[in-house]
Amino acid sequence: MWLYSKHGFFSAAQHFDDANVIHARAQFKGDLERLCEAYGLEPHVEYTPDGDYSYRMNFPREVWAEIVKGEALAIDYPKVKPALHDGTKRDRAYLDVFYVMMNHRD
């Protein structure tokens, strides 16, 4: 699952060793911390500069499900791009992904 939200961009998959754990990853420093802060969770982020994602954290599956639900319920904007626009490197990356996907659509 890829999740783009006001808190950041996250890649989430089932943990290799434990089906009850979701392994969430982020490319930008602070995204996982910001997400945890929004949901009252203690961040335990691992920095992995040589990995395909620079930041990683595990969540119990049910906690991740509540986060995804919370992100869906928090949508308070009529258009995604303006809501995520913040002028940072993350903003440019979001737009790059949008244009790549748009240029490869059916």
According to DSSP, residue 31 is labeled H
From first to last of its 106 residues, the chain has per-residue pLDDT tens of 999 998 999 999 999 999 999 999 999 999 999 999 999 999 999 999 999 999 999 999 999 999 999 999 999 999 888 888 777 888 888 889 989 999 999 9
- How many residues does this entry show for the chain? 106
According to DSSP, residue 30 is labeled T
pTM of the model: 0.89
What's the confidence (pLDDT) of residue 2? 96
d(CA 58, CA 42): 11
Q: In this structure, how many other beta carbons lie within 10 angstroms of the beta carbon of residue 3? A: 17
